[in-house]
Structure 1
Amino acid sequence: MPGLVSKLLIIAAVDGIILQPLAQKGQRSASATKIAYNDHHIGPVLKDGGESESESEGGGKSFEAFGIVGLLTVSKSSFLVSITRRQQVALIQGKPIFCITEVAITPLASRAEAAASITHTQTSLQGKVADNHGTDESDSEAEEGVISAAVGDDVDDEELQPAVVDSTPAEHKRTSSVAEDVISRKGGYGRFAKKWFSKKGWTADQRRNLGMTAATSDDDDSSASPVPVSKSAVVENVVGPNPRDSKPKDSAASLLPKLLRTTQILFGSSRSFYYSYDYDITRSFLNRRTTNSEIPLHTQVDPLYFWNKHIMQPFINAGQSSFVLPLIQGFVGQQEFEMDTDPPKPVLGLDGAEKSSMEMVDMSTSYGLQDTVQVPDTDGSSDRPKDPQTNHSSSMKSYLITLISRRSVQRAGLRYLRRGVDDEGHTANGVETEQILSDPKWNRSSKIHSFVQIRGSIPVFFSQSPYSFKPIPQIQHSSETNYQAFVKHFENISDRYGSVQVASLVEKHGPEAIVGEQYEKLVDRLNESGGIKGSPLAFEWFDFHSACRGMKFENVSLLMDALASQLDAFGYTVELDGAQSSKQSGVLRTNCMDCLDRTNVVQNSFGKRALELQLKTEGIELGLQQDQTTQWFNTLWADNGDAISKQYASTAALKGDFTRTRKRDYKGALTDMGLSISRFYSGIVNDYFSQAAIDFLLGNVTSIVFEDFETSMMSRDPAVSMHKMRQQAIEVCQKLVVADEHEEFIGGWTLLTPQVPNTIKSMPFEESILLLTDSGLYSCRFDWNLEKVSSFERVSLEHVISIKYGTFITSTLSASQADEQRNVGFIVMYKAGANDITRVNTRSMSSVSRTDADLLEGTSTSPPTSGLAGILGNSGPATTTNRLLALKALPSRDAVAEGTESRLTEIEQVKTICSEIERMVLHGQVLEVGTERKSLVESGDIISLADARKSTGLLEQLGHSFKKLIWA
C-alpha cells in the first residue's frame, strides 16, 4: 500500500492513525509504541524519572504497546500487529528478556475500522488492569499460567483480542477432581482435552464455524480473554466490519478472519515468541558478535532466527529502525540455584572404605531456590559457619542457569507437513539450544559458560501421512538429489559450529528404519568422499526404544559414554571480562523422527553432563552435593521440551515425566497416550491452515496460498522448487523416452492430465510431461517422489487429426477452479497406428504396440461419449480407432515467488503449445500444388462452466463443504 509507512519519525499509517516510539534518546529500540487515533497529535511526555506519559490534545483513543510485531498485508488490507502484554522471563547481562503473551491487531484500511479497533483494545487493556487490582500486568499470576492455545489449537473466538467484554465471567462447574485436574491443565493435554471436558463440547465449535452465535464459555481460565458475544462481533472488533457481511472478492479475503485469529494466537497466546530491546537473543555466545548500540539491532541479529523479519520489512524499508523489534520463536527460561563449595567429606564405613552414597536432606525445590538449609557436617553436627543475612552456610555459592532455544525460520512449520530436508539443506524443526551457566549478577569478573546443542529432522527427503498413529515414512526423490541436499545440510552446520557429532535415535527395526538406513548410507558415502571439509562426519545410531525398553530411560547413559570423548574434544564456550577465553569447536546434532520426545530426553542428559563439567572448573563437584536431585535443572529442561513440542506438534512433549522427575511409570505412559491422540487430531484437522499461515507470515508464499488452500484444503511445500523439479523431469523424460537419436527435440512442457488415459475428465488430474519432437508426441506420466517415468505414450505426428483448445473446467467447488479465464486446456485427437507405443515402467519398460485390431478388441479405453461430438469438431464422428490426449495448463500464478521473470498466462501457454504441435505436424505433410493448407487448431470449450456445474454431484459438493468446515 503506497505511503502506508512513510519516512517520518511519526508514521501516519492512515488519516489520524499515529505511531510513535516511546524511547529515550540513544536507545536502540523503542521500549513502547503509542498507537493512537486522533485528529490531533498525541505524543509522549518524559517524566524526570524517565517514564513516559501520554498526553492527548483531542481526547482521542489510544493505547501503548510494548513494541510492534509487524505489518500484515493481505487482500489489499493492512493490519498492525502490536504487543499489548508481556512477561519478563530472564535477565541476561542486565538486559531483560520478555515473552509475548498477547498482541493486538489494528486494521489500517479506514479511519472507522482503526478507531473502533483501538477503542476496543483500550477498553480491553483497561479492564484487565482493573481485574489485576492495579498491579503490573506483566507480573500477574495470569501470566504464569499454562499455555491455553498453541498454533495447532483450534482458533476459538474466546481467544481473540480485543473482544467485547462480558461483565460476568463465565464459571465452570467442576464435578470431580479428575475433571478439575484435566481442565486446569488443558494446555498440557492439548486441544482434545480442552474441548472434550468443556460443557459446550464440539457442538459449539461447529456452530461457530457455521457463523452462528456462540454459547457462553464454560471454561474457567484466569488467563483467558473475556468471552465475546458472537463470532461476527469478534471479527468486527479485530478487523472492522465483518467480511462475511459482503461477498468476498477472493480466497484470501474469505479466509482473512481465520488468518487474523491464527496470527493472534501464534504471536500472542501461544507464548512462544521472545524479544529483548537491547540484547541480541538470536545469537549464542558461541557465535556472538560485538554489538554496537548506535546501530539498529535488527541489522545485527542472526537472520536464521529472525521470525518477524518479513512482516517488519515495510518499517525496515522506510528506515524506521526504532519500530523494528526482532523476535525469536522457541523458549527462554532461567533459574538460580546454589552449590556448596565445601561439601561434606565422604562418609567412611566401618571398614574404612568410602560409602557410595550419602544421606540426603530435604531441601525446597520451589523455583529451584533453597530456603534456609542446615548443612550437616560429617559428624552429624551443624556447626558450619552461616551467613548472618541469609542464614545459609557461608560455603554456599549462587549460580544462574539460562536456557535458550531458537527455532529456525527455514523449513518452519508443523509436524507432518514439514519433514526432512529441502533443496538448500535446511531441515524441519531445526532448533539451536544454548545452556548458559553464569553468576546471578553477571559480574564481568565471573566466567560465563555456554554449551550449544542442535536438533533437526533427518536430512533426507521423506514424508509421512498424518492419518495414522505411526505412519510409515516414504523416501522421496532420487539418491543423488538426497545426497546433494544432505551435503548442503552438513556444510551449513559446519560453517556455523565446526565439527559435527550426529546422534540418531530412530529405531533400527520397524518403519523408522527406512529413513535411518538411508541416513547411515548417506553418511558412509559422504565419509568415503572425504567428509565435511576433509574431516569425517561422526555418526552414532542409538536405538532409543530398544535400549530404553521397559521405561529404562536411564540407559541413555550408554550413549553418553559412547560420545564422551568426542564431546570433551568439542568443549564449550567460556567468556571472561567480555572476551572469549575458549570456544566450543563442534556441536552435537540429535534427532529422532519428530526431534521432540526422545531428543528432549537425550539433550537434557547431555546438558546435565555439560553442567557437571562446567561446575568442576569452578571447583565444585556436583556428585558431592547433598541435593543431587537437581529438580530445578530437570524442570527447566522439561519446560523447554514442552515449548518446542507445542510449536511443532501442538501438544506438550511425551516422556515429560521422566525429564522432570527422572522417573517413569504407568501414569506418564497414560498421559503420553492422551497427548498422542491430541497430536493425531491436530495433524488431520488444524495443521493445514496453520501451516499456510506460517508460510505466509514468514514470506515464503504470497496470498495466493489461500487460494490454493481453498481449492485443496492444503498448501504445497514452498521450500521445494517446483520450477526446478519440472525442468529436471523434462530432462529425465527426454533422455529416457526419446529412443531415436535422430529425432530432433522441439520442446517439453509440464501439464495436467486426467488420471485415466484417453478420457477428458477422470479425477484427480495429475502432472505429466508432454514432449514434442520432429516426428512424435510423447505423453509421460512421472513419479515425482522417485523422479522416474512411470509410463509414457508415443503418438506419431502423422496420426494427429485435430487440436482443440479452450475452457477446461474440471471442478466448480472454488472460485479459482471455476474461473474460465484461468482454467484452459487442449485436446489432441489422433488415429492410433501400429507405430504408436505405450510403455509402462515396472522393473523394466514393457512395450505395447497399438494396432487397429487391438483397439477393435477393446484393449484401449474409449473416449467418453458425452460431449465428444463438440470436441471432435469437424474431424467426424467418434470411432474406436480415434483416441485423444487431454491436457490442461498449470496455474500461471504461484504462491511461491521463484524469481521475477514474467510468466505466460494459462491461455498463452496453451496457444503456444498448440501452435508448436501444429507446426511440426504440418511440417511433415506434403501437399499437392494448389491445395490450401488447412489449420489443425481450433478454439472451443472442452468442458464449459455450465457443463462442469451439471457434472458436479451433490455428494462432491457436500464433501468439499465438509472439508472446508473442518479445515477452513
Structure 2
Amino acid sequence: MPSIARKLLICAAVDGLIIQPLATKGQRAQQPVKVKYGDATISSLPRDQPLETPKPNSSFEAFGIVGLFTVSRLSYLITVTGRQQVAQIRGFPVYVVTDVALTPCTSQADAELAIANTATKLRRASADKFVDDSDSESEVEGPSFSGGDDTEDPGALSDRETSENKDVSEVGGERSSIAEDVIKRRGSYGRFAQRWFSRKGWMMDQKRNMGLSNLVTDGPGSPTNKPKNGSPERELSEAVTQEGVDPPSTPSVGESLMPKLLRFAHIWLGTSRSFYFSYDVDLTRSVANRSSTTATTNLPLHQQADSTFFWNQNLMRPFQGTGNDSIILPLMQGFVGQRTFVVDRHPPQSDSQEDSMEMADMSPPPERNTEFFSPERASVDLRSSEKKFVITVISRRSTRRAGLRYLRRGIDDNGHAANFVETEQILSTPSWEPTSKIFSFVQVRGSIPIFFTQSPYSLKPIPVLQHSSEANYRAFKKHFELLGNTYGAMQLVNLVEKHGVEAIVGNEYEKMVQRFNEQKAEDSQPLAFEWFDFHSACRGMKFENVSLLLDTLGKEIEEASSTVEKGDQIERKQKGVLRTNCMDCLDRTNVCQSSFGKFMLDLQLRGEGFDMSAQLDQENSWFNTLWADNGDAISKQYASTAAMKGDYTRTKKRDYRGMVNDLGLSLTRFYNGMVNDYFSQAAIDFFLGNVSSMVFDEFEATMMSKDPGVSMSKMREQAIETSQKIVIEDDKEDFIGGWTLLSPNTSDTIKTSMFEEVVLLLTDTALYLCRFDWKLDKVSSFERVDLAHVVSIKVGTYITSAISPAETDESRNIGLVITYEPGKFDIKRTNTRSLSSTSGQSDQISGKDIFGEPTKAPAAVSGILNQAILNAIAGKPQSQSHPPRKIALKALYSRTAVSETKDVKKMTENEQINVIATEIERLVFLSQPIPGDSERKSIVEKGDIISLAEAKKSTGILEQWGHSIKKLVWA
C-alpha cells in the first residue's frame, strides 16, 4: 500500500492526508470531518453547516465519505459531492447520491490538482444554479474530478429517469411520438442509447477513449484551454509518485485499466443515482428487522447496518479501527421513493367528469415537486373525513452474488441468489407521529435458486443447468434456510414459462421444492409453491389477467399480513414473505410485486376505515408511478436499462407503443450483455471486496470475469474425488494423489489454440488423465497410462499465448510433458452420452484403446484391466509398432483475484509442477526395476516446453489484431 494511504490509515501524518472531526455530534449521525492534504482540504458536511471561507480552489464541500480503494500503487478517496433528498423517514431526510469526487491519494501534487479542479467545477455549478435555480434539483451538483461528460459515456450506467424526461403519456396528458420518446428518454434505454443519441455522439466518445480529448482547467497553475493528451483520469492514474514509494519497473495491467475503472466508479457510485443514504436512519433494515436492533441504537450506523445491503462496507475498511468510525457512511443500492396521497372515509358520490378531475388534482405532483412535510404542516386543508398518508417504497439490493444480468444467474455455493432484492412498502402519516401506526409490507425477489447459466449472445438464450443434482440441492437448501431464518414462512411465486426454454429451469425448481418439502425437518415449515405462467396467462397484452394470480394468493397474502409499529413498539409482525421470480426477476416480477403491494395497501387502509374502491381517484397514478420507478431502478442496476412492461405498471394499460419500447430495451440489453457488462462485473466484484485488484490483470488477458461466488477450490476437490471413484477400478492400486491442471483439448499435442482444465490422478502403477465436464460434474473421458511405459518427463516454461502480460510471465507459466510408449494396459475410455441438461437418459461409457480403436469387451466385463486383456487376446497392436505419445500439462495460476482475498498459502506454479514430476519419477523407478548395480539416470529433464520467443513467433498478426480490437471494444 502506498505510504500516503498508510498515513491515512493511522491518521498520524502531519504532511500527508489526515482525517479529523470538526465537531462532535451524536454517535448515530456522521460527524463533519476535514480531510487535509498539504494546502488542499476536503470538508465533509453531513448537515448544512457553514465552514470558514477557504482559499480559492483549496477545498470543496463533501456530504460524506464513500471509501478508499487501491489498485497497485494508486489509491483514490471517494467522497459524495452531490445529493438530492428523495424521502423523509421518521422526520429524517433520505438522500440519493447524484455525484462523487475521486481524489488521488498517492501524490500530493495530484491530490491538490484534483481538489482544485473539483472545487472550481462545483463553484461554477453553484453559480449557474444561483442564476437559474431550476437548472438542478440537487443541493450540490456538478461534475467532479472525473469529468462532466461521463453521463454520456458508452460504458456508463445510465441515470435514473428524471421527472422532466418522463413521457407525458405515462402520467396522463398529451401523447408524443415513439421517436420523441426514444430521443427524450434515452436514459431509460441505458448505455447503448446514451452513446447514439448523446449530443456529442459516437465519434467524440471514441476520441476521448483514445486520449484525444482536451482537458480544460481553471485551477491555479493550469492555463485555460491548454490541450493535453488524455483525460484527467488517465493523467492522474499514470502519474508516478516519488514520496517514499518504490514504483514497479513497468505499470501493472491494473493501472493501464485505471482510467476506465475511474469512469465506472464515478458513474456507478455517482451519476447513476442508484445509491442512497441517511445520516440518522438505517436504510438497510426493514421496520420489523430494525426493531431487533433497538437495544444498540447508540452504536454508529455502520455497526447497526445489515452487511447484506451495506454496499460500501469494503471501501470503508481502511477507516475502521482508526478512531474515526463516525465518518463511515453506509450506502445502500436499490431504490427509495415516496408519494403522498389523500383518502376520504366518506367520499362524495359523483359521476361527473369535472368532480373526478377535481379529485384527481389532489393526487401528488411528479417526484420533482414532492414535498416532505413537517409535523405542523402534515394535515392542513383537509376535511374532517379526509386523511393524508405517505407511502414509501424501499428496495435493497443484496451485496451477495451481486452483479449484472447474464454474468450472475442462479445461485452460489453459499446459497445466495443473483439479483436478490428486498422491497419494503411502508405506509405512514406524513409526520410519522408515534401515536399513529406504521405499516410495513416486505417482499423479496431473486433468481431461481439452482445452478444455471445463459449465454449473452442470444436474444432468448437457452438456460443450461449446471452441476449435479446433489450439489444443486445443497445450495438450494442453504438458500431457503437463510430466508426462513430471516423472513419466516415462504410463498414462492414462479412466473417463468411452463413450456419452451424457460421450462428447463422451472421444472428443476419445482423438483427441488418437492424434495425440500419431503426431507424437511418436523419443526420447519414447507415451501408453498405457485407456478403462474405469466406469458401464457397475459397473452395478447392482457396484463390485467395478473388478477388471476391475486385470486389464488389473496388469502395467503392476507394471512401473512404486514408488520405494524406504534409508539416504537411492534404490535404485529409479518408472518411470512412472498418470493417472486421470473428469468431476470425484473419485468414480470415488478408487475406482480406491484399488484401484491396494491392488494396489501388496500387491506391496510381498510383496517383504518378507508375503502380505496370507493375513492374518486381510481387511477392511483401516484402508486403506479412509484412502483414503475422502482422497477426501472432495479432493472438499470441489473440489466442496464429501464424495466420492460413499464407502461402497464404506470398506466395499467398496454398498447403497441409499449411493445416497441420493450423491443428497444431488449436490443440494448443484448448489446450490454455482449460488450459492456464484463468489465463492469469485474469492477463491482472489486469494490465489494470479492476479488483483489488482480482481477483487472485477468480481465485484460481474456476480456472476461470469473464468478467468485462459486468456489473453484471446492469444485476441484470434488472433481478429483469423483474421478477417483469412476476411473480407478482396480482395488489393488494405491491412490497417491490428484491435481487439476491445464491440458490441450486434443490428445498427444503440445501446441493448440484451446486448453481445458483436466484432472490428473496418480496411483502406484498408473497415471490417469481425466477430461472433466465441469458444468455437469461428470467425467467425459479419461486415459490410463501404465507407469512402466513412461520414458521421460520434461519440466519447464510453457507459454501458451503471447497476447497478455500475465500469459507471457515465464515464472508463472510452467508445465511438464510426459512421454510414454503405449502398451496393452494403456486405455482410453470416452463417455459417449454427454449429458445435456435436457437429456434425462442414462450414461453409457464406451471403451477405446489408446490407439483410438473401439474395444469389444462384453457388457459384463467393466474392469479396465480385464478390458485390456481382452484387447490383447483380440490381437490389438502393441507398443513396439507405435511411436511414443505425449501428455502435456500446465500448472494453474496459484495466485488469482479470488485467492488473493484469502490468507491461504499455496504452492507456486513451479513448486507444484516439480512435486508432480518428482512423484511420478519415483513411482516410475519402482515399476521399472533395473538389474544389478547399474546407476539409474533421472528421467526428468529441465528445458523449455514452449519458450516465450517461440510463442511470440507462433502468434499470428490476425490473433494480435483480434485481441486488440476486442480490448478496444471491451476495455
Give the TM-score taking structure 2 as reference length: 0.86
Structure-2 change in CA distance of 1:404 and 1:847 (3 Å): same
2:609 corresponds to which of 607, 619, 630: 619
Please say which of residues 716-725 and 5-14 is displaced more in the overlay: 5-14
* Structure 1, unaligned runs of 5 or more: 160-175, 217-225, 348-354, 371-386, 856-877
Q: Mapping of 1:199-278 within 5 angstroms?
A: 200-213=200-213, 232-235=230-233, 239=237, 241=239, 248-278=250-280
Within 2, Cα distance between the matches of 1:783 and 1:157? Answer: 36
Find the aligned partners of 2:960 and 2:806 in 1 and give their Cα distance. Answer: 15
Q: Matched residues in 1 for 2:158 and 2:115: separation? A: 19
Match of 2:924 in 1: 921
CA distance in 2, matches of 1:691, 1:852: 43
d(CA) in 2 for partners of 1:42, 1:885: 61
Match for 1:314: what amino acid? P
Counterpart pick for 1:912 among 907, 915, 926: 915
Distance in structure 2 (CA, Å) of the matches to 1:727 and 1:798: 28
Q: What is residue 635 of structure 1 aligned with on the other side?
A: 625
Q: SS at the partner of 1:249?
A: coil
C-alpha contact (below 8 Å) 1:10/1:20 kept by paired residues? no
Which amino acid in structure 2 is aligned with residue 326 of structure 1? P
Residue 133 of structure 1: aligned partner: 130
What is the distance in 2 between the residues matched to 1:853 and 1:139? 75
Which residue number corresponds to residue 108 of structure 2?
A: 111
Counterpart-to-counterpart distance in 2, 1:467 and 1:84: 38
- What amino acid maps onto 1:425 in structure 2? G
Q: CA deviation at 1:32?
A: 4.3
TM-score (norm 1): 0.87
Alignment of 1:400-411 (within 5 A): 400-411=390-401
Q: Aligned equivalents of 1:835 and 1:262: distance in 2?
A: 57
CA distance in 2, matches of 1:836, 1:210: 56
SS at match of 2:530: strand
- 2:950 is the counterpart of 1:960: no
1:395 to partner: Cα distance: 2.1
Deviation at 1:205, TM superposition (A): 3.2
Counterparts of 1:198 and 1:388, CA distance in 2: 42
Q: State the aligned residue count.
A: 893
Partner of 2:167: none
Equivalent residue for 1:74?
A: 71
Aligned with 2:337 (options 327, 333, 352): 333
Query: Could you tell me which residue of structure 1 aligns to residue 283 of structure 2?
Result: 281
| Partner deviation per Cα, 1:808-848 (whole Å, 9 max, x = no partner) | 00101000100111101000000011211000012311111
Cα contact 1:150–1:270 (8 A) shared by 2: no
> Which residue does 1:503 correspond to in 2?
493
Q: Which amino acid aligns with 1:846?
A: S
SS in 1 for 2:740: strand
Q: Structure 1 residues 313-322 or 487-496, which shifts more?
A: 313-322
Q: Which letter does structure 2 place at the counterpart of 1:444?
A: P
Structure 1 position 706 matched with structure 2 position 696: yes
Residues 1:761 and 2:713 are matched in the alignment: no
Trace 1:496-535 onto structure 2 (pairs within 5 A): 496-530=486-520, 533-535=523-525
Match of 1:122 among 119, 123, 126: 119
Q: Which amino acid aligns with 1:183?
A: I
| 2:310 is the counterpart of 1:306 | yes
- The residue identity in structure 1 corresponding to 2:114 is S
Q: How does 1:482-493 map to 2 (within 5 A)?
A: 482-493=472-483
Corresponding position: 1:92 with 2:94? no
For residue 953 of structure 2, the aligned residue among 942, 950, 953 is 950
Question: Amino acid of the residue matched to residue 529 of structure 1?
Answer: Q
* Aligned counterpart in structure 1 of residue 668 of structure 2, from 656, 678, 682: 678
- How many Å apart are 1:661 and its aligned residue? 0.4
Q: Secondary structure at the match of 2:808?
A: coil
SS at match of 2:97: strand
Q: Which amino acid aligns with 1:307?
A: W
Q: Give % identity.
A: 55
Q: Is 1:691 aligned with 2:681?
A: yes
Taking the aligned partners of 1:663 and 1:13, their CA distance within structure 2 comes to: 62
1:734 Cα deviation from its structure 2 partner: 0.3
Q: Deviations over 1:150-205 (max 9, x none)?
A: 9997246999xxxxxxxxxxxxxxxx987654333111122222222346543333
Q: Deviations over 1:642-681 (max 9, x none)?
A: 0000000000000000000000000011001001111111
Matched, 1:187 2:187: yes
Larger mean Cα displacement after TM superposition, 927-936 or 507-516: 927-936
Quote the Cα distance in structure 1 between the aligned partners of 2:685 and 2:522.
Answer: 31
Q: Work out whether residues 31 and 277 of structure 1, in 8 Å CA contact, stay in contact via their aligned partners in 2.
A: no
Provide the aligned C-alpha RMSD in A: 3.4
Structure 1 residues 294 and 337 mapped into 2: Cα distance closer, same or farther (>3 Å)? same
1:901 matched to which residue of 2? 904
**Secondary structure, aligned partner of 1:73:** strand
Deviation at residue 35 of structure 1 after TM alignment: 3.6
**Partner of 1:396 in structure 2?**
386
Instruction: Answer yes or no: is 1:933 the counterpart of 2:931.
Output: no
Stretches of structure 2 that go unaligned for 5 or more consecutive residues are 160-175, 217-223, 242-246, 367-376, 833-842, 856-879
Cα distance in structure 2, aligned partners of 1:696 and 1:776: 43
- The answer as to whether partners of 2:97 and 2:275 remain within 8 angstroms in 1 is yes
Matched letter for residue 51 of structure 2: E
Residue 827 of structure 2 aligns to a residue whose secondary structure is strand
- In the TM superposition, what whole-angstrom CA distance separates every residue of 1:690-723 from its partner, at most 9, and x where no partner exists? 0000000000000111111011101110000000
- Cα distance 1:366–1:636, how it changes in 2: closer, same or farther (>3 A)? farther
In 2, distance between residues paired with 1:422 and 1:716? 13
Distance in 2 between the 1:152 and 1:881 partners? 62
Q: CA deviation at 1:341?
A: 1.8
What amino acid maps onto 1:938 in structure 2?
E
The CA deviation at 1:928 is 1.6
Amino acid in structure 2 at the alignment position of 1:718: P
User: 1:601 is aligned with what amino acid?
Assistant: V
User: For 2:187 and 2:38, how far apart are their aligned partners in 1?
Assistant: 40
Output the amino acid matched with 1:368: P
**How much has 1:762 moved relative to structure 2?**
1.4
Are the equivalent residues in 1 in contact too, given 2:333–2:396 (CA < 8 A)? yes
Name the CA distance, whole Å, in 1 between partners of 2:421 and 2:853. 63
Secondary structure in 1 matching 2:316 = helix
C-alpha distance in structure 2 between counterparts of 1:523 and 1:42, whole Å = 54
Distance, in Å, in 2 between the alignment partners of 1:634 and 1:116 is 47
Amino acid across the alignment from 1:69: V
CA gap 1:142/1:549 in 2 versus in 1, 3 angstroms:
farther
Cα offset, 1:346, TM superposition: 9.2
In structure 2, the CA distance between the partners of 1:398 and 1:65, relative to structure 1 (3 Å rule), is same
Please give the alpha-carbon distance, in whole angstroms, between the structure 1 residues aligned to 2:134 and 2:24.
Answer: 21
Structure-1 separation of matches of 2:45 and 2:822 = 85
